Amino acid sequence: MLTWTEQRPSKPGWYWMLYPAEAPGIPIVTQIVIDTSGSPPALCVLVPAAKPKAKGMVYALQNVDAMWAGPLELPLVSPVAEL
């Protein structure tokens, strides 16, 4: 079971984020990635788009005050049997 914490993620992966400034009480799944364009490289938060044609949002992790749970384990993908 995951536990909510105010401590920001320290490694890349998928996390639940509860960001009260955007959507109070509604957690969303985000991806933490390493942005290598700066010096030194920094962690960024990728927030998926809510609508298919909308662009997602990208934030510097250090600027996001939120509650976090994770990292999430991705499900295993098994090959689909041919029909």
Q: Which two tokens stand for residue 8?
A: 């920001």
pTM, entire model: 0.78
Express each pLDDT in 32-72 by its tens digit: 999 988 888 899 998 876 655 556 788 899 999 999 999 99
| Angstrom distance (rounded) from CA 18 to CA 69 | 9
DSSP single-letter state for residue 48: -
Give pLDDT, residue 4. Answer: 95
Q: How confident is the model at residue 13 (pLDDT cuts 50, 70, 90)?
A: very high
Do residues 4 and 27 make contact, with C-beta atoms less than 8 angstroms apart?
Answer: no
